[in-house]
Chains A and B, each alone.
Chain A
């Protein structure tokens, strides 16, 4: 489903968010100046490796940050209302009912001692004050919707009586029963086999089309992103380093880290030989590097990368990348062959795409009201 940013209603805006964690060793700068927005009915994928800040970002949306976390600055606006600073009681009204979450491991997110019917019905009883009978009827309906066969016979079963794929369907039913505006899916299919993964992803898309919810999809699997997302944000060392429509990020990627990600994962078409790698490991966020955080692992790094943090360069109304390579003073570089092929395909379809016309913009420009029309 194609969602136009100009038409759709913006339901979430994260503006210049900075979150630190206080530890014995000092303060870990987990989220560093992150801005993005989310529109009604769209799927935004956040991609990155562990420690890049994708899970911390979404936990902050739910008000579920650990005790030692501190929001240094920035704001999170949900339907025009500021979330940061809300009390736990206020957050409980939003959590589960307006913003719901699906976790990676369905076994640990279900209560093993509770009948699944009761677990699915609970949000309705808690948030909407449904009677038990009415809530269970709705739960049964939901079980059918998420494709649990012979639902009425299984509503009194316990989680251990289901397979992994069925359990994840139950988790999805719980998350969706209250018709949330935003569904946050944190690696929802990573623990599942590929055949089951395909079914679950298909189910999520179907339900989204019916309910019109927005999805924030967190994953490291670029294949899954390509099939699910309308827009993609790539995170590295606590920052968004590239954001754009799925087609733009996959086929006209600009940041060398995005190149590296696309290049280091083999597909079934990859020729045998040596796999391109991103050398080294991500930086320590106790003392994040000064310039481009990826510079130390980057073959394409230029002198500026080590001194000054690059701003976002605007490639289109929707596509932004934070890399000095897009600056007019930067030398011409040749991206990896695989990326060159992607560019060629993209430029054949979008003749207007031209990286030499990219201009530096303010961080806030990635938000629809600043950068959009």
Chain B
């Protein structure tokens, strides 16, 4: 099953520490290990400061791992030094940002924004080819071909996000990191952009790392989900299993706080409290496969408890 699929990204015991050795040392990511398979959408959820974005940026090679390593298509990112290999890597991995206003240069025409990657990587034969590529891309993301000569301010938020997506697609990437790509958009526009991302994935076989704090949206778009808290990955599993049968206490608490657009459900909602100080008891914990393909961050003596829960949900016999 999932094991036989090709691993595109592998994180092995990744630690990222900022200001190491100083008084303001911050362990942003601690011992994170997971794989992202080709063609899937891996969702990352957790509160602000839990390390979601740091992991995304580390995969972009914007941060050096303090410990552990990141493999992309089997190659260790830290060993990518040669220019050719590096630029090939940067072509393969692209990012879509949260704020479409801030991530587009106001003084550049859409044509030049989208074509920047094409220019850097010399992907166009001549000027006409460059224009054609840009216009095709605009069409792919649901804009008009003649939009290419306009400036960003002439577009709405949703359209600007489409420009950002076109820019990411311009270098024909394999893997796209979408960091809160829809949180700045209006509700009615969010669905349009999510559908576009899904459609592109199907057509071009893209792999996504989808980072968001809107838990319902992450559930909707992701195949598998990782839940982060205080720099630690506490639970990983298929989207349905994590949402319907959460095993870790933090995941349970997080899911119980999602507001539901139905007054009768809201009336009966009970939020589960979570005491994070349990995490700091100094126990040695690691990711343990409690049910098939469902991992929980657990210490030796906690495994039984989680297995009991999994049994109650009918995940294991």
* Candidates B188, B189, B260; contact of A226 at CB < 8 Å: B260
Interface flags, A221-241, vs B, CB<8A=1, else 0:
111111100000000000000
- Chain B positions within 8 Å of A223 at CB level: 216, 258-261, 266
Judge whether B187 and A220 touch: CB under 8 Å: yes
Structural contact, A277 and B192, CB atoms closer than 8 A: yes
| Distance from B225 Cβ to chain A, minimum over Cβ atoms (Å) | 11
CB distance from A257 to the nearest CB of B (A): 9
* A193 sits at the interface (CB 8 A): yes
Assembly CA distance A279 to B193 (angstroms): 11
**Cβ of B252 to closest chain A Cβ, rounded Å:** 11
Contact between A265 and B191, CB atoms less than 8 A apart:
yes
Contact with B261, one of A198, A250, A274 (Cβ below 8 angstroms)? A250
B149 within 8 A of A: no
Of A224, A226, A251, which is in contact with the most chain B CB atoms at under 10 Å from its CB? A226
In the complex with contacts A197-B257, A281-B158, A247-B263 CB distance below 8 A: yes
Given A226-B266, A246-B263, A270-B220, A265 and B187 touching (CB < 8 A)?
A: yes
C-alpha spacing A197/B47, complex, angstroms: 11
- Tell whether A268 is near chain B: CB-to-CB under 8 Å: yes
Contact of B187 among A201, A250, A264 (CB under 8 A): A264
Chain A residues lying within 8 Å of B215, measured Cβ to Cβ, are 194, 268
Which residues of chain B have C-beta atoms less than 8 A from A225's C-beta? 261
B70 in the interface, Cβ–Cβ < 8 Å? no
> Of B217, B255, B261, which is within 8 A of A262 by CB?
B261
B154 within 8 A of A: no
Find out whether the CB atom of B258 lies under 8 angstroms from the CB atom of A261. Answer: no
Whole-angstrom distance between the alpha carbons of A270 and B47 in the complex? 22
Whole-angstrom CA separation of A103 from B218 in the bound complex: 27
- Across the interface, which residues of A come within 8 angstroms of B156, CB to CB? 281
* Chain A min CB distance to B265 (Å): 7
Q: Evaluate contact between A274 and B216: CB separation under 8 angstroms.
A: no
Mark each residue of chain A from 62 to 81: 1 if its CB lies under 8 Å from any CB of chain B, else 0. 00000000000000000000
Flag whether A267 is at the interface (Cβ < 8 A). Answer: yes
B188 to A224, Cβ gap below 8 A? no
| Contact of B213 with A194 in the complex, beta carbons under 8 Å | yes
Residues of A within 8 A of B48 (CB): 164, 193
Tell me the complex Cα distance, A198–B216, Å.
Answer: 15
**Of the residues B216, B265, B269, contact of A270 by C-beta under 8 Å:** B216
Given A226-B260, A226-B261, A195:B191 Cβ within 8 A:
no
Cβ-defined partner of A49 (8 Å) among B188, B217, B269:
B188
B293 within 8 A of A: no
Beta-carbon contact of A274 and B195 below 8 Å: yes
Please report whether the interface of chain A is mostly helix, strand, loop or mixed according to DSSP.
helix
For residue A266, CB closer than 8 A to chain B, the reply is yes
In the complex, how many angstroms separate the beta carbon of A187 from the nearest chain B beta carbon?
12
B63: Cβ under 8 A from any A Cβ: no
CB pair B187 A227 closer than 8 Å: no
Contact in complex: B191, A264 (CB < 8 Å)? yes
Q: Which of A198, A247, A276, A279 contacts B271 (CB 8 A)?
A: A198
Q: Closest B-chain residue to A257, C-beta based?
A: B188
The answer to whether B187 and A49 have CB atoms under 8 Å apart is yes
Q: Does A347 contact B (CB under 8 A)?
A: no
- B255 contacts which chain A residues (CB < 8 A)? 268
Instruction: Say if the beta carbon of B198 comes within 8 Å of chain A.
Output: yes
CA distance A279 to B189 in the complex (A): 8
What per-residue 1/0 map shows which CB atoms of A260-293 lie under 8 Å from chain B?
1110111110101011111101000000000000
Q: B residues 153-197 with Cβ under 8 Å of A?
A: 156-159, 186-192, 194-195
Q: How far is the CB of B227 from chain A (nearest CB, A)?
A: 12
CB distance from B147 to the nearest CB of A (A): 14
Bound state CA distance, A262 and B263, in angstroms? Answer: 13
Q: Is the CB of B259 within 8 A of A226?
A: yes
B219 at the interface (CB under 8 A from A): yes
B262 CB-CB contact with A under 8 Å: yes
20 more contacts with CB within 8 A, not counting A220-B187, A226-B261, A266-B219, are A49-B189, A50-B186, A194-B47, A195-B257, A195-B274, A223-B260, A226-B259, A226-B263, A227-B267, A247-B263, A250-B263, A264-B190, A264-B191, A265-B190, A265-B261, A267-B216, A275-B191, A277-B192, A281-B159, A281-B189
8 A-B interface contacts by CB (under 8 A): A223-B216, A227-B259, A227-B267, A261-B188, A267-B216, A268-B243, A281-B156, A281-B158
Q: Which residues in B have some Cβ–Cβ distance to A below 8 Å? A: 47-48, 156-159, 186-192, 194-195, 198, 213, 215-217, 219-220, 243, 253-267, 269, 271, 274
Q: Which 3 A-B pairs have the closest CB atoms?
A: A223-B259, A227-B266, A193-B47
